Amino acid sequence: MNKTISNGKWSRVFDFDQHGYFTIKTDRFIIHITGGSIVISDRITGAKLKQIKGYNYLYTGDVKPDETEIFALENGKHFYVISLEDFTQKLKITLPRFYEAIDVYGSFSSDGNILYVPVQRWRNNSYEYCLCEYETKSYSLVNMKKIHYSQVTHWI
């Protein structure tokens, strides 16, 4: 069973039957996010360029439109920024206090200057949903607004 994400520049597909689980295809790369690792391969040759291990519950992500960075979102309290120039982890960002990202996916803006990450928290016997906006030079949070459940980008 597959689910394709229609928004964003790149092809992003959940494959619930395969080991690759979540795949991003760009002009230059094929990236598999497998829960515990990120596998980056050359799109043309298929050669594995790098596997970065040591993650937990890492299921979704997106690549900047200029193909310089990948954002990978865990089912939990953090996201990671990986350089696609030297294949190293540049940042680990903690989501706002009391919020988490569960079964959702984020996306870069079309110009790559903003990263949108949906988050939620349990409050007063129900979930409260927000959309966090991070500028992508330092990945600082610049805006956080409440959104309705219907606006949350779920992958399940």
> 143: domain CATH number?
2.130.10.10
Contact 22, 61 (CB under 8 A): yes
Is 27 a member of any domain?
yes
Is 109 a member of any domain?
yes
pLDDT for the residue 155: 63
Contact 37, 57 (CB under 8 A): no
Token output for 51: 């596997």
pLDDT for the residue 52: 97
Is 32 a member of any domain?
yes
Tell me the mean pLDDT per 10 residues along the chain, length 156: 65 66 91 93 96 93 96 95 98 97 90 96 93 98 94 72
Is 76 a member of any domain?
yes
Is 100 a member of any domain?
yes
Domain count, the chain: 1
Q: How many helices (H) and strands (E) does the chain have?
A: 0, 13
Token output for 102: 């569960």
Q: What is the pTM of this model?
A: 0.90
pLDDT for the residue 6: 64
pLDDT for the residue 71: 96
Is 156 a member of any domain?
no
Is 21 a member of any domain?
yes
Domain residue limits at 32: 2-151
pLDDT for the residue 17: 67
